[in-house]
Amino acid sequence: MKITFMGAGSTVFARNVIGDCMCTEALRDSEFALYDIDGERLKESETILEAMRKAKGGYGKITTYLGVENRKEALRGASFVVNAIQVGLYDPCTIIDFEVPKKYGLRQTIADTLGIGGIMRALRTIPVMDDFARDMEEVCPDAIFLNYTNPMAMLSGYMQRYTGIETVGLCHSVQVCSENLLKDLGMEDKLEGRKELIAGINHMGWLLDIKDKNGVDLYPEIKKRIDAKIADPEFKDKVRYDYIRNFGYYCTESSEHNAEYNMFYIKKNYPELIEKFNIPLDEYPRRCVNQIAKWKDEYAEILDKGIKEHTRSREYASHIMEAVVTNKPYEIGGNVLNKNHLITNLPEEACVEVPCLVNGYGIHPCHVGALPVQCAAMNMTNINVQLLTIEAARTRKKSYIYQAAMLDPHTGSELSIDEIKNLVDDLIEAHGDWMPKFD
Q: Does 151 sit behind a cis peptide bond, omega within 30 degrees of 0 on the bond before it?
A: yes
Torsion region of 362: left, alpha or beta (phi above 0 gives left; psi -120 to 50 gives alpha): left
Sign of CA dihedral 267, 252, 83, 137: negative
Q: 438, 407, 439, 401: which is closest to 423 by C-alpha?
A: 401
Count other C-beta atoms under 10 Å from residue 219's C-beta: 16
The amino acid at residue 245 is: R
- The neighbouring-strand residues paired with 335 are 169, 353
Q: Distance between CA 405 and CA 360 in Å, rounded? A: 41
**Residues forming the active site:** 172
Across 212-253, the runs of DSSP E, i.e. the strands, are 250-251
User: β-strand 80-83 against 61-66: which pairing, if any?
Assistant: unpaired
Instruction: State whether residue 2 is helix, strand or coil.
Output: strand
- Residues paired with 211 in a beta bridge: 195, 217
> Collapsing DSSP states into helix, strand and coil, what is residue 260?
coil
**Contact between residue 412 and residue 104 where contact means Cβ atoms under 8 Å apart:** no
The three state secondary structure string of 316-365 is HHHHHHHHHHHCCCEEEEEEEECCCCCECCCCCCCEEEEEEEEECCEEEE
Q: Classify strands 195-201 and 204-211 as parallel, antiparallel or unpaired.
A: antiparallel
d(Cα 93, Cα 99) in Å, to the nearest integer? 10
What does the alpha-carbon distance between residue 326 and residue 97 come to, in Å, rounded to a whole number?
43
